């Protein structure tokens, strides 16, 4: 027992699970495809003042320029070199962003694409975002450099060289994922090149990495390059801090490769989370919110301290990756806000909020044929800047879910209730549910087709509170619904099922 406890304590201290966030900050936002210059501004003007912990940025290294279709978002998942040089900006702009964001306590997490290089059919030329030469026929990427020796062509056992069967774990790791040239991660040279790239970013001041396509790498090979990583920059992080690692492993069950194989390296993306939460909030398959009482491990999810959780990501918001049609996105704003609100109120996992760009969806036979469309861009391919409207929303096609009042205020809620237990659960056996976080916060949902009218135990100290969903506390006044908590902690809630946002949340910092 003692040994087990000791091991648990060591496991908990190993920093690759620790998100390296500034004190009391608990949620990061994925600013998908944003330019570095815009992220720097957003850290200073919006994310820091509203308590966001960090930003997941799109892959910063040089990628293949794809013109057919025109500049799809997925071109950034086709590396040409490890030069910091992409449509989001150059290395100077990247450095400026990291410095400015770190200086206001908002940390940067890089989407690292290290499983592969570009697609095998790209040919040869200088069509990288930095103009570096490559030749896919000879497997030459001289700007790294990688050559034919550095790919898995000899190791993959399928006739096509592609992954043909996801039930064969060797194929999934050793063969090409949708034609992408698969790096030979068993080679120390390749591991060293990857570590060099990541250490360059660590030197600039990043706090950690999302590791793309982790399922397509052997956990042991990943450990080998992760063990080569430096500690974080002591300019912003305490001595001995290890980079935060979260691995993209799509495991919704039913395949031989499981998330748990990767726990030794860091956290893992929990794809069951958004798929199940979407199903519940859409009330599909007979699911009800009352079933969320044991949300988390009770639903067969990985341990909370290993999970990176999200309602949607850049893949599954457009039908790629896992989760299918149940995934909630900004296209269903009413249900989406409830899902993100639930996630941010609930203690399970380390949370990531999605921030998207809009595109014209075109469903043909159930599939969005425009699922490839890249970020808002100019005729010459440069990404459009994120403009800010007078009402604080974003322009130029950027959705900025993280600026929606309900979502931003729930990020603040999560910070306020950080460390408090899940408490005072209530449900009506249907889709009216509520829970608290100790004596710091309380949230009530009405996702039924009837009015909610109930007196509930909030756990909060008596007083008048402001609902942070319909409004917020501004100075001494509340711009939304007021919640009157009696001295015994009870409060009466009324939520119409036709309310624009049929949920109420409040916390001790929103006490009037």
Ligand X SMILES: *[C@@H]1O[C@H](CO)[C@@H](O)[C@H](O)[C@H]1NC(C)=O
Q: Does 13 bind ligand X (CB under 6 A)?
A: no
186 is catalytic: no
- In angstroms, give the least distance from the CB of 209 to ligand X: 15
Least distance (Å) from ligand X to the CB of residue 432?
Answer: 5
Q: Does 365 bind ligand X (CB under 6 A)?
A: no
Cβ atoms of 252 and 323 within 8 Å: the answer is: yes
Comparing CA positions, the residue from 498, 348, 342 lying closest to residue 434 is: 342
CA torsion angle for 158, 164, 167, 170 (degrees, to 10)? 40
User: How many Å apart are CA 349 and CA 296, to the nearest integer?
Assistant: 8
User: Residues 64-90, buried b or exposed e (16+ Cβ, 10 A)?
Assistant: bbbeeeebbbbbbbbbbbbbbbbbbbb
Measured distance CA(209)–CA(373) in Å, rounded: 25
Q: What is the nearest approach in angstroms of ligand X to the Cβ of residue 266?
A: 15
Question: Smaller CB distance to ligand X: residue 126 or 382?
Answer: 382
248 catalytic, yes or no? yes
By beta-carbon proximity to ligand X, the closer residue of 365 and 378 is 378
- Other C-beta atoms within 10 Å of 471: how many? 17
Q: Is 103 in the site for ligand X (CB under 6 A)?
A: no
Assess contact for 432 and 289: CB atoms under 8 A: yes
- 380 is a contact residue toward ligand X (CB under 6 A): yes
**Residue 286 CB partners (closer than 8 Å, separation 6+):** none
Nearest distance, CB of residue 358 and ligand X, angstroms: 19
Is residue 93 a contact residue for ligand X (CB under 6 A)? no
Question: Is position 454 an interface residue for ligand X (rule: CB under 6 A)?
Answer: yes
Min dist CB 431 to ligand X, Å, is 7
Q: How far apart are CA 305 and CA 10, in angstroms?
A: 13
Q: Which of 75, 248, 251, 401 is catalytic?
A: 248
Of residues 230, 235, 389, 494, which one binds ligand X by CB under 6 A? 230
Question: What sign does the dihedral 138-144-150-151 (CA atoms) show?
Answer: negative
Decide if residue 448 touches ligand X (CB under 6 A).
yes
Count the residues of the shown chain that bind ligand X, applying the rule CB under 6 A: 14
Least Å from the CB of residue 427 to ligand X: 8
- Judged by CB, which is closer to ligand X: 236, or 271? 236
Q: Out of 23, 68, 121, 240, which residue is the one contacting ligand X (CB under 6 A)?
A: 240
Q: 280 is written with which tokens?
A: 């519940």
Cα 152 from Cα 187, distance rounded (Å): 10
Q: Which residues have C-beta within 8 Å of that of residue 203, sequence separation ≥ 6? A: 230, 233
- Only segment of 28-36, 92-100, 347-355, 448-456 that touches ligand X (CB under 6 A): 448-456
Stretch that binds ligand X, among 48-56, 58-66, 445-453, 468-476 (CB under 6 A): 445-453
Q: How far apart are CA 440 and CA 436, in angstroms?
A: 8
Q: Which residues contact 499 (CB under 8 A, 6 or more apart)?
A: 446
With CB under 6 A as the contact rule, which of the stretches 81-89, 248-256, 329-337, 428-436 interacts with ligand X?
428-436
State in angstroms the smallest separation of the CB of 227 from ligand X: 9
457 binds ligand X (CB under 6 A): no
The DSSP code sequence of 413-462 is HHHHTTTPPEEEEEE-SSSEEEEEETTTEEEEEE-SSS-EEEEEE--PPS
Backbone torsions φ then ψ of 437, nearest 5 degrees: -125, 90
Quick one: which of 3, 4, 68, 239 contacts ligand X (CB under 6 A)?
A: 239
404/445 with CB nearer ligand X: 445
By CB under 6 A, residue 234 contacts ligand X? no
Per-residue tokens: 209: 């990495």
Instruction: Please pick, from the candidates 7, 8, 13, 450, the single residue that binds ligand X as defined by CB under 6 A.
Output: 450
Q: Indicate the residue among 51 and 205 with the shorter CB distance to ligand X.
A: 205
Q: Which one among 50, 385, 428, 482 touches ligand X, defined by CB under 6 A? A: 428
387 binds ligand X (CB under 6 A): no
Q: Which of 212, 251, 270, 501 is catalytic?
A: 212
Helix count (H) and strand count (E) of the chain? Answer: 9, 27
Report the interface residues with ligand X, using CB under 6 A.
Answer: 230-231, 239-240, 378, 380, 382, 428, 430, 432, 448, 450, 452, 454
Active-site residue set: 212, 248
């Amino acid at each position: 027992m003692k040994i087990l406890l000791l091991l648990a304590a060591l496991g908990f201290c190993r920093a690759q699970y620790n998100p390296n966030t500034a004190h009391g900050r608990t949620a990061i936002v994925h600013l998908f495809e944003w330019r570095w210059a815009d992220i720097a501004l957003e850290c200073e003007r919006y994310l820091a003042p509203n308590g966001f912990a960090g930003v997941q940025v799109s892959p910063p290294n040089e990628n293949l320029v794809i013109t057919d279709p025109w500049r799809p978002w997925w071109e950034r998942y086709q590396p040409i070199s490890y030069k910091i040089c992409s449509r989001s900006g150059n290395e100077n702009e990247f450095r400026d962003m990291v410095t400015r964001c770190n200086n206001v306590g908002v940390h940067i997490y890089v989407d690292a694409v290290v499983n592969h290089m570009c697609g095998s059919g790209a040919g040869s030329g200088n069509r990288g975002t930095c103009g570096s030469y490559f030749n896919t026929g000879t497997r030459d990427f001289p700007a790294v450099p990688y050559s034919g020796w550095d790919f898995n062509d000899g190791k993959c056992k399928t006739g096509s060289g592609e992954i043909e069967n996801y039930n064969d774990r060797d194929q999934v790791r050793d063969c090409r994922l949708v034609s992408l040239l698969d790096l030979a991660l068993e080679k120390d040279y390749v591991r060293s090149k990857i570590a060099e790239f990541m250490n360059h970013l660590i030197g600039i001041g990043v706090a950690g990495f999302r590791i793309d396509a982790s399922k397509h790498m052997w956990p042991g090979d990943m450990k080998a390059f992760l063990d080569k990583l430096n500690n974080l920059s002591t300019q912003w992080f305490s001595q001995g801090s290890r980079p935060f690692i979260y691995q993209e492993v799509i495991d919704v069950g039913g395949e031989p490769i499981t998330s748990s194989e990767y726990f030794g390296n860091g956290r893992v993306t929990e794809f069951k989370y958004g798929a199940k939460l979407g199903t519940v909030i859409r009330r599909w398959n007979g699911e009800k919110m009352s079933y969320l009482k044991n949300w988390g491990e009770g639903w067969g999810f990985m341990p909370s301290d290993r999970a990176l959780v999200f309602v949607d990501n850049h893949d599954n918001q457009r039908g790629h990756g896992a989760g299918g049609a149940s995934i909630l996105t900004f296209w269903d704003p009413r249900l989406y806000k409830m899902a993100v609100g639930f996630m941010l109120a609930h203690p399970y996992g380390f949370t990531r909020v999605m921030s998207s760009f809009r595109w014209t969806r075109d469903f043909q036979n159930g599939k969005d044929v425009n699922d490839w469309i890249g970020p808002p861009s100019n005729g010459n391919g440069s990404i459009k800047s994120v403009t800010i409207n007078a009402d604080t929303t974003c322009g130029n096609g950027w959705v900025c879910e993280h600026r929606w009042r309900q979502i931003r205020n729930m990020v603040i809620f999560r910070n306020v209730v950080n460390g408090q237990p899940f408490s005072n659960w209530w449900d009506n056996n249907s889709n009216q549910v509520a829970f608290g976080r100790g004596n710091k916060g309380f949230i009530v949902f009405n996702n039924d087709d009837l009015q909610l009218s109930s007196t509930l135990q909030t756990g909060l100290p008596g007083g008048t509170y402001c609902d942070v969903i319909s409004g917020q506390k501004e100075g001494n006044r509340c711009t939304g619904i007021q919640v009157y908590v009696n001295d015994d902690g009870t409060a009466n809630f009324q939520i119409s099922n036709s309310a624009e946002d049929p949920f109420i949340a409040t916390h001790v910092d929103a006490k009037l």
